[in-house]
Amino acid sequence: MRDVINGNALEPIVATVELGVPAAAAKKWWLGELARAANESGQDLDALGVGPADVAEVRPLLNEKLGI
Q: Please give the pLDDT value at position 22.
A: 94
Using CA atoms, how far residue 8 sits from 4, 5, 23, 27, 55, in Å, is 6, 5, 16, 12, 16
The domain locations on the chain are 2-66
pLDDT, one tens digit per residue, over 6-38 is 667 899 999 999 999 999 999 999 999 899 999
Q: With contact defined as beta carbons under 8 Å apart, do 30 and 59 qualify?
A: no
Kindly report the pTM of this predicted structure: 0.83
